Copies of this chain bind each other. A is one copy, B any other.
Amino acid sequence: MTNGAQALIATLVGSNVRVCFANPGTSEMHFVAALDSVPQMRGVLCLFEGVVTGAADGYARIAGRPAATLLHLGPGLSNGLANLHNARRAHVPVVNVIGDHATYHKKYDAPLESDIEPLTDWTHGWTRRTDCGADVGRDAAEAVAASMASPARVANVILPADISWDDGAEPAGQVDPVPAAAPDPGAVAEIAAVLRSGEPVALLIGGPAAAAVRALEATDRIAAATGARVLVETFPARLVRGAGVPAVDRLGYLAEQAAFQLDGIKHLIVAGTRSPVSFFAYPGKPSDLVPEGAVVHNLAGLETDVVAALEDVAQLVAPGVAPRPAPAATPELPSGDLTPQNWVQVIGALLPHDAIISDESNTSGLLLPAATAGSPRHDVLTLTGGAIGQGLPVALGAAIAAPDRPVIALQADGSAAYTISALWTMAREQANVTTVLINNSSYAILRLELSRVGADGGGPKANDLLDLSRPNMDFAKIAEGFGVPATVAKTCEELAEQFRAALAEPGPHLIDARIPTLF
């Protein structure tokens, strides 16, 4: 006999979902028990749902396919929503299994009862409530396919406890996701004409194009042949870069930076991303970052094979033109006390081959791209949706997806506190994550923003609310408390030595790097 939970897990495995990040409760106990009947599914316990969903996001960014999550009713899902928001903005596949009360129990409005659908709807994804045991397999298979549509998305299966425990269910076969559309030849021709117009053009790419060397090469060929400026969206889900890959700058986070990068253009071509807007509104400043008078042209949205579209354009405007891979060139190892300027050089100098960087360094990482531009080829995973607390969970998930690759979490202090228990799961799973915790004892970005929004800041109460130095957090102790070996670095020499040592030893490590704030 197969119960609903067993059929669900068997279906997920049959659809190539092999990892389930879980924080279960009573209503999920049959799912937990069923894990022993399906050996191909790996359960990874996390101590908070924000870690669960962030890890699923990181896993998907590297594996290119979804992990499952296991969440406990509405409140469990609610704890995971912020990182699902980031996953939604990253356009990655995630399959949430959300346990619910037994169908007949909901009407009693027991303490943990809540409406789950408004929360799943908030993920802008796909949702199915399984209300009949016979449908469990079908719903799970369709959820996986829905998550892998173009664009990829969050898929939610709400699983009542009695559906989970009732016998008589059957696994379902894999359902093929809707593939990305082929590029539109008309759009390709139009973009080629814009590029040949002789007017100043910028090409802004994102989504899968940022993660594909082929796309970056096509884009660079276009730039070489036409003089177009090329930029990557500000917060790509996954950006491949480093030696051997054409270098592309990211559009700046600050509107002032973006305005500088786009200054003077007459045409903005977007591919795999949207026309750029300011992250926040600022009094008297425009929200739309497209320079006045410039025309926006859409080459391909996320429903389209954007890599192929860029290659098609390159074929038209840059036949025979070769891409220009970035040369291998790493910074000198700096020395002396750590500063916002020199810590990134340590990373750039020592970054190992094929690394994955989970970057939630925020203001402290402003100089990171330059310092790592010629480092060995690596992937960078960024804070796509702006909901902080993503960096450590994403690093965990990436390490589960690619156990043989070194994962580097560059993590700001304020954001780290959101989902700090990710360290425990790193220890439990012996994930190869080296966390460099940039400990500047402040919400530095908010110090900057306080002045940028024109708030009459500077008052003692206002500044106190942006201050993390009362008391300073000792992240080395916190990490050790969660089972992760940790050290403290105050100089470049210490950071370099500890970073090398951490990379040389399997399993997670944390370096509590005491770095003054830029602001």
Interface residues of A (CB under 8 A from B): 22, 24-27, 29-30, 32-33, 35-37, 43, 45, 47-48, 50, 74-76, 78-79, 81-82, 85, 89, 101-102, 104-105, 108-112, 114-115, 118-119, 121-122, 161-162, 165, 235, 274, 277-281, 283, 287-288, 384-387, 389, 414, 417-418, 420-421, 424, 427-428, 445-446, 449-450, 452-457, 459-462, 464-468, 470-483
Contacts and interface: CB of A to CB of B under 8 A. Distances in A.
23 contacts: A24-B465, A26-B280, A29-B446, A29-B450, A33-B455, A36-B460, A36-B462, A37-B459, A45-B465, A74-B85, A75-B386, A101-B281, A105-B280, A108-B277, A109-B274, A110-B280, A111-B235, A111-B384, A112-B386, A115-B122, A119-B119, A418-B421, A476-B481
A55 B111 CA distance: 20
A79 B86 CA distance: 13
A401 B74 CA distance: 29
A172 B228 CA distance: 55
Contact of A108 (B24, B278, B481): B278
Contacts of A481: 473-479, 481
A15 to B, nearest CB: 20
Contact of A465 (B35, B453, B475): B35
Nearest to A234: B111
A78 B74 contact: no
Contacts of A104: 281, 287
Contacts of A417: 47-48, 421, 424
Given A47-B417, A50-B79, A473 B478 contact: no
A386 B113 CA distance: 9
A359 to B, nearest CB: 15
Given A32-B465, A33-B462, A428 B471 contact: yes
Nearest to A166: B283
A420 B420 contact: yes
A33 B112 CA distance: 38
Contact of A482 (B25, B424, B478): B478
Contacts of A480: 474, 477
Given A78-B122, A287-B105, A455-B32, A161 B43 contact: no
A50 B49 CA distance: 12
A473 B424 CA distance: 8
Contacts of A446: 24-26, 29, 32
A130 to B, nearest CB: 16
Contact of A466 (B32, B445, B475): B32
Contacts of A43: 461, 464-465
A372 B221 CA distance: 76
Given A35-B462, A414-B47, A428-B471, A30 B75 contact: no
Contact of A118 (B22, B36, B122): B122
Nearest to A280: B26
Contacts of A115: 122
